[in-house]
Amino acid sequence: MKFLFYSHSLVSCWNHGNAHFLRGVMRDLRRRGHQALALEPEDSWSRMNLVRDQGEAAPARFAATFPELTSLSYGPDFDHEMALADADVVIVHEWTDPKIVERVGKVRQSGGDFTLLFHDTHHRAVSAQADIAAMRLAPFDGVLAFGETLRERYLRAGWGRSVFTWHEAADDALFRPMPGLEKTGDLVWIGNWGDDERSEEIATFLVEPAAELGLATTIYGVRYPDEALASLQRAGIAYRGWTANADVPRIFAQHDVTVHIPRRPYVTHLPGIPTIRVFEALACGIPLISAPWDDVEGLFRTNTDYLVARDGGEMTQLLRGVLADDARRAELVKNGLETIRARHTCRHRVDQLLEILALCGTRRATDQLKRAEAAE
């Protein structure tokens, strides 16, 4: 089948975690013999910031790192109708311009013979409800929501025909342990500052414990304001700015522990949705300690695959204990890898996607699925 993904960006992962997941899904689809193509706006916020921050060489590196993946940029004159003509499955990300969402929907409504899905991997359904409500989703065959609580929001609001939970996951072709690398530090966190959605939590669960314990700590990420950078410097924390997602497994391997600091909307309004870094960190085999987060869907084995600190004092205690205990770190690594490999790789998510297409796909897609099953 030919899968067409309307993405915010496949090329740029600058403050854009969905690119991580999309790359893994597209790579697995191609491994199974399907075609997969991404379309992204030529002026996407993430890509423009990447070039401004890192220069023109940064987007070019994508092609060298992921030679099997293809993304086309579109502008005002792009022929979307022609691009859609031979697609079997079209998946539109929720950051897509609403005018493009409507245009693609009209093609489907006027007889387009492809399955059309809307993909939501953000918290705008609770933080900017009017934006999602304005999306014209009636022509869509289904909605993919990256958490059960988000799926329930869509159902209660009447957005979309059928709504399915489709969590993000780790691309384990990229995110894997690298045990031979020399350790260069104790604690690493790879996360963006954002819009003050977790500024207090970063101080409480990362900066203050690292300073109190005197840990060799490094932070990677973007959009840190001057006052945040000053606080890191006072705490003796090294700030390294943006890093390409492809470099993250190596960075994790060079440190002994990492943390998970969820954004506030996911704690207060959309519980059960982790950042994609939880999947990726556990897939890389690094012990992880989380700020308060309620795994209401049972994605992981809490306090077995990772540890949870209820406050800053407990985070300090847990970091001290984990760093001092080789056996405990090894047990966390083993457990986390076990759960990822059993349930949370992009292969698992592609399996789920094909099951969803069997339920709500158009005849063109379901017929191809049946032929593929018959050939196995």
pLDDT exceeds cutoff 80 at 376: no
Class of domain 2-169+345-375: alpha beta
Show the DSSP H helices in the chain as ranges: 18-31, 45-54, 57-65, 80-84, 98-109, 124-127, 129-133, 148-157, 199-202, 208-213, 226-234, 248-253, 264-268, 276-284, 312-324, 326-343, 346-360, 363-375
232-244 per-position pLDDT tens digit:
999 999 999 999 9
Distance CA 235, CA 232 (A): 5
Task: List phi, psi (to 5°) of 89.
Answer: -135, 130
Helix or strand (DSSP H, E) at 38: strand 35-41
pLDDT exceeds cutoff 90 at 196: no
> Residue 203 has what DSSP assignment?
I
Distance CA 262, CA 208 (A): 17
pLDDT exceeds cutoff 90 at 134: no
CB 282 within 8 A of CB 340: yes
Of all residues in the chain, what percent carry a pLDDT higher than 70? 100
pLDDT exceeds cutoff 90 at 12: yes
The answer to whether the 2-169+345-375 and 185-343 domains have the same CATH topology is yes
Q: Which two tokens stand for residue 54?
A: 């890192």
Give 72's strand partners: 39
The tally of CA atoms less than 13 A away on the side-chain side of residue 371 is 7
Confidence of residue 373 (pLDDT cuts 50, 70, 90): confident
What is the distance between the terminal CA atoms of the chain, rounded to a whole angstrom? 16
Confidence of residue 125 (pLDDT cuts 50, 70, 90): confident
Show the DSSP H helices in 254-311 as ranges: 264-268, 276-284
| pLDDT recorded at residue 177 | 98
Q: Return the closest-CA partner of residue 54 out of 184, 202, 170, 220.
A: 220
Q: What are the residues whose beta carbons fall under 8 Å from the beta carbon of 70, sequence distance 6 or more?
A: 36, 37, 38
pLDDT exceeds cutoff 80 at 194: no
Domain-wise residue ranges, the chain: 2-169+345-375, 185-343
| pLDDT recorded at residue 372 | 81
Q: Is 213 exposed, middle or buried (0-12, 13-18, 19+ CB in 10 A)?
A: middle
Could you give the 3-state DSSP secondary structure of residue 218? strand
185-343 has CATH 2.40.50.140 classification? no
Distance CA 139, CA 108 (A): 6
35-80 per-position pLDDT tens digit:
999 999 999 999 999 999 999 998 889 999 999 999 999 999 999 9
138-178 per-position pLDDT tens digit:
999 999 999 999 999 999 999 988 999 999 999 999 999 99
Distance CA 181, CA 118 (A): 40
pLDDT exceeds cutoff 80 at 181: yes
| pLDDT recorded at residue 171 | 98
Confidence of residue 1 (pLDDT cuts 50, 70, 90): very high
Has this prediction a pTM greater than 0.85? yes
327-350 per-position pLDDT tens digit:
999 999 999 999 999 999 999 999
Helix/strand/coil percentages in the chain, nearest 5: 45, 15, 35
| pLDDT recorded at residue 160 | 86
Of all residues in the chain, what percent carry a pLDDT higher than 90? 87
Confidence of residue 83 (pLDDT cuts 50, 70, 90): very high
| pLDDT recorded at residue 335 | 98
